[in-house]
């Protein structure tokens, strides 16, 4: 075997071994099922299919069309809507298509969540000091004027009354809900009427909460006033890394389609469309049960951490209504450090988390590389079969590391032993395909 190929193979094996012995708590990650992996490993990964189903630029797309059509139908069923475009290759690409559709090419206006308070970087201006966002789309440079919604730090959510005032004064073309720190439903219903008053369209970036929404939890943006909902497909929706753009307005379909292709895409990663089709089928079958447990586990983890002296925020609202909890770790600043320091510490014990800005960090001089908070998510650990009792165990690991100052290498051994019982993916279809067994251990 070529030395470089062998090196790559060994690195992949080591990575798999690491995660087999780790507790994965990254809120933006999940794990795909054997059936999804099988679809993603198909010959679709070698093929091209520019355009819409039945209107391809390439030949050889007969079966690709069938699968993509199934994927769209399953997505429409799962999210109860009339239009589902499964061609975006990520949630960010789905967002860019939405911006194309609803904002002017020159100096368009968009209202978004404040980035330090939970908005996603794909919503942000590229040059924050000038307030101008630059996006490259279809060979052109696109500029957007960005304003921010008002945010209530105490509620960890958008302030609807103050934001309504901003909408009336700024008069945006697009109002975008959703974010990467997303504990509670956003006030879509309250603000969509204000949006209509100023002629704005309403978008909703459901990347983090798409699975919760599709399974009937959290909120229902398309019925609450959102014209378009975008999402990535690998967070609470446990599919391959891809995207989807949804609408329940028939009159928008002809506007939305060309803003995906040819505006942003050529080929659209057909193997992931196949895997996504399987994911939608799985969630129609198992999502109701799975996503209830995801939310229950997030609440339980927040409570268990809080009881052990680790400051999970929003205790007065039962910590969360999503898969996420947010922790203020500034009380450990003098003894351990801030978010980046704690992220590195717990990773030594094979607990995989991410540091995160708290809404007030910037005003207190903290930086995103070492902020005052942590963001934890329960999607992946729930899919591996963990429940409320395991949330207590995980909170104990945090207590050992942060409060009892136990050696991370000793906790690492405890984590590996704990993880032995959680190696099988739940809430999915099973497959006996031997190709998957090879991929699993490669």
Q: How does residue 228 score in pLDDT terms, banded at 50, 70 and 90?
A: very high
Whether residue 433 has pLDDT greater than 70 = no
Q: Is residue 4 part of a domain?
A: no
Question: Do residues 116 and 143 make contact, with C-beta atoms less than 8 angstroms apart?
Answer: no
Quick: pLDDT tens for 153-196: 999 999 999 999 999 999 999 999 999 999 999 999 999 999 99
* 219, part of any domain: yes
**Per the structure block, which two tokens stand in for 336?**
């351990």
The string of pLDDT tens digits covering residues 402-417 is 999 999 999 999 999 9
The mean-pLDDT minimum among 3-12, 124-133, 370-379, 412-421 falls in: 124-133
Kindly state the tokens that stand for 355: 């540091």
Over the stretch 284-322, which tens digit does the pLDDT of each residue have? Answer: 999 999 999 999 999 999 999 999 999 999 999 999 999
In the predicted model, is pLDDT for residue 264 greater than 60?
A: yes
CA distance 377 to 26: 6
Bin 63: left if φ > 0, else alpha if -120 < ψ < 50, else beta: alpha
Domain assignment present for 411: no
Residue 223 belongs to a domain: yes
Give the CATH number, domain containing residue 88.
3.40.640.10
- 355 has a pLDDT exceeding 90: yes
Alpha helices by DSSP H, listed for 103-209, are 160-170, 188-197
- Would you mind telling me the total number of residues written for the chain in this entry? 442
Asked if residue 77 is part of any domain, the answer here is yes
**Is the predicted pLDDT of residue 41 greater than 90, yes or no?**
yes
Residue 125, pLDDT score: 56
Which pLDDT band, with edges at 50, 70 and 90, does 124 fall under? low
Q: ω into residue 262 within 30 of 0, thus cis?
A: yes
pLDDT at 126 over 60: no
Share of the chain above pLDDT 90, in %: 87
Q: Which residues contact 314 (CB under 8 A, 6 or more apart)?
A: 156, 183, 184, 302, 320, 326
> Which domain covers residue 246, as residue numbers?
35-282
Residue 116 pLDDT class (50, 70, 90 cuts): confident
Burial call 338-358: b when 16+ CB within 10 Å, e when fewer: bbeebbebbeebbbbbbbbbb
Res 438 pLDDT > 50: no
- Supply the angle between the helices 388-402 and 408-419 in degrees, to the nearest 10: 170
Give the model's pLDDT for residue 127: 39
CA dist., res. 382 & res. 372, Å (int): 26
User: Residue 404 falls within a domain, yes or no?
Assistant: no
Q: Burial letters for 429-440: b for 16+ Cβ neighbours within 10 Å, e otherwise? A: eebeeeebeeee
Model pLDDT, residue 437 = 45
pLDDT higher than 50, residue 128: no
In a domain, 142, yes or no: yes
- Mean pLDDT value across the chain: 92
Q: Is residue 49 part of a domain?
A: yes
Give buried/exposed letters for 264-290 (b at 16+ CB in 10 A, else e): bbeebbbbbbbbbbbbbbbbeebbeeb
For 174, the enclosing helix (H) or strand (E) is strand 174-177
pLDDT at 436 over 80: no
pLDDT for 327-346, tens place per residue? 999 999 999 999 999 999 99
Summarize the confidence of residues 264-271 as an average pLDDT: 95
pLDDT given at position 107: 76
Domains of the chain: total: 1
């Amino acid at each position: 075997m070529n030395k470089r190929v062998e090196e790559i193979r060994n690195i992949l094996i080591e990575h798999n071994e690491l995660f087999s012995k780790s507790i994965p708590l990254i809120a933006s990650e999940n794990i795909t099922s054997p059936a999804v992996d099988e679809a993603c490993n198909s010959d679709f990964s070698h093929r091209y299919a520019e355009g819409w189903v039945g209107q391809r630029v390439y030949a050889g797309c007969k079966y690709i069309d069938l699968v993509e059509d199934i994927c769209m139908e399953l997505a429409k069923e799962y999210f109860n809507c009339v239009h589902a475009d499964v061609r975006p290759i990520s949630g960010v690409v789905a967002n860019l298509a939405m911006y194309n559709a609803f904002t002017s090419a020159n100096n368009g206006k968009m209202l978004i969540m404040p980035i330090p308070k939970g908005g996603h970087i794909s919503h942000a201006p590229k040059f924050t000091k000038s307030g101008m966002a630059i996006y490259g789309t279809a060979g052109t440079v696109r500029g957007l004027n960005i304003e921010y919604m008002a945010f209530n730090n105490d509620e960890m959510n958008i302030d609807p009354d103050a934001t309504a005032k901003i909408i009336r004064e700024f008069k945006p073309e697009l109002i975008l809900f959703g974010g990467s720190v997303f504990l509670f439903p956003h006030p879509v219903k309250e603000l969509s009427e204000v949006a209509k008053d100023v002629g704005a369209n309403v978008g909703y970036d459901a990347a983090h909460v798409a699975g919760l929404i599709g399974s009937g939890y959290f909120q229902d943006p398309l019925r609450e006033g959102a014209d378009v909902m975008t999402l990535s497909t690998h967070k609470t929706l446990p599919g391959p890394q891809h995207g989807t753009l949804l609408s329940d307005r028939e009159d928008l379909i002809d506007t939305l389609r060309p803003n995906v292709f040819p505006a942003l895409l050529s080929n659209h990663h057909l193997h992931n469309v196949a895997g996504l089709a399987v994911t939608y089928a799985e969630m129609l079958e198992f999502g109701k049960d799975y996503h209830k447990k995801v939310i229950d586990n997030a609440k339980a983890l927040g409570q268990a951490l809080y009881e052990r002296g680790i400051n999970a925020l929003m205790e007065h609202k039962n910590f969360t209504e999503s898969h996420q909890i947010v922790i203020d770790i500034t009380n450990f600043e003098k003894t351990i450090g801030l978010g980046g320091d704690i992220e590195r510490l717990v990773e030594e014990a094979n607990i995989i988390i991410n540091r995160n800005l708290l809404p007030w960090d910037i005003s207190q001089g903290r930086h995103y590389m070492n902020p005052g908070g942590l963001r934890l998510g329960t999607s992946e650990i729930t899919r591996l079969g963990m429940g409320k009792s395991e949330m207590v165990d995980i909170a104990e690991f945090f207590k050992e590391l942060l409060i009892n100052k136990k050696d991370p290498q000793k906790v690492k051994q405890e984590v590996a032993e704990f993880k032995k019982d959680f190696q099988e993916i739940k809430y999915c279809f099973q497959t006996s395909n031997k190709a998957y067994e090879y991929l699993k251990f490669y």
